[in-house]
A and B are shown apart, each in its own frame.
Chain A
Amino acid sequence: QITLKESGPTLVKPTQTLTLTCTFSGFSLSTSGVGVGWIRQPPGKALEWLADISWDDVKHYSPSLENRLTITKDTSKNLVVLTMTNIDPVDTATYYCSKTTLFGSGSHYYFDYWGLGTLVTASS
């Protein structure tokens, strides 16, 4: 059974750094074609893809947030960490992590299992 769970602070002050952890089970990030991605959804708004990391440590970032995001993995501990610097109230959202399965190369993957998400509020 594949499960993912997001964890991190529920409240972050503007200008601070947000660190979110995705802990997963049922798959390995050392398996070829497997990755983990992060997606967020501000209240009442659309889903927004943030970043991903693959089994071979290739990383991709949303161009609009690239200078604020860092994604890393710890394969032995089955976790992926996303950090976002210089938090702003517009970053208030539910943050999801998801397992990805690659079809071919590059962007050709889908989010086949998701966590429940964690709501992060950016406010002073």
Chain B
Amino acid sequence: DVQMTQSPSSVSASVGDRVTITCRASQVIYSWLAWYQHKPGRAPKLLIYGASTLQWGVPSRFSGGRSGTDFTLTISDLQPEDFAIYYCQQANSFPHTFGPGTQVDI
């Protein structure tokens, strides 16, 4: 199975900050990676797929990048509604696997 790790596990930030979350795959997954946002009591939401393609309707302050097996999710100009847990997920091979999550707190 492809192991996904994320760092940091949590980050405290303020409105207007720029936050970058890193996800690392244990083997090559090309660009088969997605990022999800999850708020308590809400359905998880797909933000980015293909490592860098923004899902429709997602604000442009979210962006994704890839360097080898390292992936990043950057939130520029953090907004109050962005405080949530963020997960990465690989879709290169079965079984699909998720990272442990990064909590973005105020």
Interface size of A by Cβ–Cβ distance < 8 Å?
26
Nearest Cβ in chain A — how far from B57, in angstroms? 11
Partner of A112 from B55, B95, B99 at Cβ < 8 Å: B55
Q: Is the CB of B43 within 8 A of A107?
A: no
Residues of B within 8 A of A111 (CB): 34, 36, 44, 46, 89
Residues of A within 8 A of B61 (CB): none
Q: Is the CB of B99 within 8 A of A110?
A: no
Q: Is the CB of B91 within 8 A of A109?
A: yes
Residues of A within 8 A of B42 (CB): 116
Residues of A within 8 A of B92 (CB): 107-108
Nearest Cβ in chain A — how far from B85, in angstroms? 10
- Per-residue contact bits, chain B 1-19, to A (CB 8 Å; 1 contact, 0 not): 1000000000000000000
Cα(A108)–Cα(B34), bound, Å: 11
Cα(A98)–Cα(B91), bound, Å: 14
The range of chain B's interface size is 20 to 34
Cα(A81)–Cα(B44), bound, Å: 20
Could you say which of A16-24, A26-34, A41-49, A84-92 contacts chain B? A41-49
Q: Is the CB of A46 within 8 A of B99?
A: yes
Partner of A62 from B43, B50, B95, B99 at Cβ < 8 Å: B95
- Per-residue contact bits, chain A 88-124, to B (CB 8 Å; 1 contact, 0 not): 0000000010100001001111111111110000000
B101 part of interface (Cβ distance < 8 Å): yes
Report if A107-B94 is in contact (Cβ < 8 Å); known contacts: A96-B44, A112-B46: yes
Residues of B within 8 A of A (CB): 1, 32, 34, 36, 41-46, 49-50, 55, 87, 89, 91-101
Residues of A within 8 A of B (CB): 4, 37, 39, 46-49, 60, 62-64, 96, 98, 103, 106-117
Top 10 A-B pairs ranked by shortest CB distance? A49-B96, A47-B98, A114-B43, A110-B49, A114-B44, A46-B100, A110-B34, A107-B94, A62-B95, A112-B46
